[in-house]
Structure 1
Amino acid sequence: MVNVLGQQPRYMQLAQTLINEIQGGRFPVGSTIPTEFELCEQFGASRSTVREAVKQLVQLGMVVRQAGVGTTVKATSAEGSYRQVMQQLSDLHRYTADTALHLLKQETVEIDDPSLCTMLEAKPGETWLRLKGVRRSPESVDPICYTEVYIQPAFRSLTGFEDAPHTPIYSLIERQFGEQIAQVQQEIKAVALPADVARMVNAKARAPALWLSRRYLNRRGEIVEVAISIHPAERFSYSETFQRGWTGA
């Protein structure tokens, strides 16, 4: 079952209702769902809210928009690759709710590699908790990515992640240590899939991949956690919406 809920805004709730109705047979494959105007009336929602809700279904590959035809149901489940839609921090909760982290190894490691020291803003010799695992999605037979998580020394006694594959690591840190994440810095780049990672995710070595890192900072601007994921290109796509924040002439 496709589920896009969590702590979500109104448009995500509407999207989940439409998904449920498609999967329940109200709108079979090949049929069209109501127009934006009709959905606005049915849900008592604004047009922008309805438009965003339908957009989620388009991004999941469940419907397709066609000029002069309307919005047609294409499938009753999401496409095989995982598409992450990021518009706000709460969307990270949806990512972990939709997928599961399967832990392969946990260890404390001494940080001495210069590039890793720079990424973690760590001093050589610091001992961080490192988690290694693969993340899976119900819509994909193979793992969607390999993930390494580095947790700052003050929180290296963190527990509970083994039994909470759908819970964000930073949420566990907040609960257990009274810390609060104020900012997430994200970087994405194209890479060739390393051979050791390829074996873990059942993919071809040197195939195109996306390397994604997230650095979680507290209110003092200190790094609490760094997560690095490598995704085979065909199993993951990323969508982000930018709102205009300036006044044009």
Structure 2
Amino acid sequence: MLNKNAPIPLHYQLTTDLREGIIQGTWGVGEVFPTDKELMNKYNISSTTVRRAVSQLVQEGWLDRRPGKGTFVKKTPIEETLGEPTGFFEEMINRGLKPSADVLNVSEVELSKKELEKVPQLRIFSEQRMFVFEKIQKLNDEPIAYVKSYWPYEYGVRIAELDLSTQGIYELIKREFGFSLIRAEEFVGADIANKKISQYLNVKIGFPVLTMERIAYNEHDKPIELSINAYRADRYKYKVHLQRSGQN
């Protein structure tokens, strides 16, 4: 129940409680959400408080109001805030969600002329051998992203021995190897799913996807990872904070 004596506004408390209920599956996707009157009676609060909370959840994408039919729970895009290099697992856990992954491939790759022509971004590395990891990132067993991640051999050979299905690589290297990726260059674009991506993400060929390429660096400003990813555009979005430096 809500704490009416707390300094936190009731509508904010209600929004938080209802959002958590949706995340935890109290109401499933597509189900009818409780009416305003039902929420008023359950929480013993005013209609104004209920309307503000529900409107906020509609704005965030958790709910869909349909005139004459009611309010329904819908899937909201997973939002990643760009600003520092974090992994999928870390982003989702920070939001109270439970990620997992299907590991498709872990293999060694030679940076031959043919390979560099196929993936020219690898030219930034002064390596002859690297490891590549291919995964499908999931939430509630639903595929969200296809990830192809390249690492220098010295790191990749050790990462290959770890369980990548329940933990993210960034979290693993911090815990197991004692270092973090400090900065990254990230390029976000748009594309459509080809046959391979459509199978991995369980969508039709031609379905819109977000693409992301990231080059991540360690504390010595040495490139450590190249990641080439594709996200379902209906389930993932990027958020960027912009601020003018000074006044004109």
Task: Normalising by structure 1, report the TM-score.
Answer: 0.65
Q: How does 1:122-133 map to 2 (within 5 A)?
A: 122-123=125-126, 126-133=128-135
Q: CA deviation at 1:63?
A: 7.1
Q: Distance in 2 between matches of 1:216 and 1:150?
A: 10
1:106 partner amino acid: V
**Aligned counterpart for 2:34 among listed residues 29, 36, 61:** 29
Q: CA deviation at 1:106?
A: 0.8
Q: CA deviation at 1:218?
A: 0.8
Q: Distance in 2 between matches of 1:82 and 1:162?
A: 30
1:228 partner amino acid: I
Q: Is the partner of 1:158 in helix, strand or coil?
A: helix
Instruction: Quote the residue 2:243 is aligned against.
Output: 244
Q: Distance in 2 between matches of 1:62 and 1:145?
A: 23
Task: Say whether the 8 Å CA contact 1:111–1:117 is kept in structure 2.
Answer: no
Q: CA deviation at 1:117?
A: 4.4
Are the structure 2 counterparts of residues 244 and 108 from structure 1 closer, same or farther at C-alpha, using a change threshold of 3 Å? same
1:61 partner amino acid: W
Larger radius of gyration: 2
Instruction: Quote the residue 1:180 is aligned against.
Output: 180
Instruction: Quote the residue 2:62 is aligned against.
Output: 61
Instruction: Quote the residue 2:224 is aligned against.
Output: 224
* Superposition CA RMSD, Å: 4.0
Instruction: Quote the residue 1:135 is aligned against.
Output: 137
Q: CA deviation at 1:74?
A: 4.4
Q: Is the partner of 1:203 in helix, strand or coil?
A: coil
Q: Is the partner of 2:246 in helix, strand or coil?
A: coil
Q: Is the partner of 1:156 in helix, strand or coil?
A: helix
Q: Percent identity?
A: 14
Q: CA deviation at 1:169?
A: 0.7
Q: Distance in 1 between matches of 2:26 and 2:211?
A: 37
Q: Distance in 2 between matches of 1:241 and 1:55?
A: 20
Q: CA deviation at 1:19?
A: 2.2
Q: Deviations over 1:153-194 (max 9, x none)?
A: 220222477635343212212222222211122111122322
Q: Tell whether 2:118 aligns with 1:121.
A: no
Task: Say whether the 8 Å CA contact 2:144–2:236 is kept in structure 1.
Answer: no
Q: CA deviation at 1:83?
A: 2.1
Task: Say whether the 8 Å CA contact 1:135–1:146 is kept in structure 2.
Answer: yes
Task: Say whether the 8 Å CA contact 1:144–1:236 is kept in structure 2.
Answer: yes
Task: Say whether the 8 Å CA contact 1:103–1:162 is kept in structure 2.
Answer: no
Q: CA deviation at 1:207?
A: 3.4
Q: How does 1:147-186 map to 2 (within 5 A)?
A: 147-159=147-159, 163-186=163-186
**Aligned counterpart for 2:91 among listed residues 87, 91, 94:** 94
Are the structure 2 counterparts of residues 215 and 58 from structure 1 closer, same or farther at C-alpha, using a change threshold of 3 Å? farther
Gaps of 5+ in 2: 1-12, 28-32
Are the structure 2 counterparts of residues 185 and 63 from structure 1 closer, same or farther at C-alpha, using a change threshold of 3 Å? farther
Are the structure 2 counterparts of residues 154 and 24 from structure 1 closer, same or farther at C-alpha, using a change threshold of 3 Å? same
Task: State the aligned residue count.
Answer: 210
Instruction: Quote the residue 1:84 is aligned against.
Output: 79
Q: CA deviation at 1:17?
A: 4.3
Q: CA deviation at 1:201?
A: 2.5
Task: Say whether the 8 Å CA contact 1:15–1:57 is kept in structure 2.
Answer: no
Are the structure 2 counterparts of residues 58 and 167 from structure 1 closer, same or farther at C-alpha, using a change threshold of 3 Å? farther
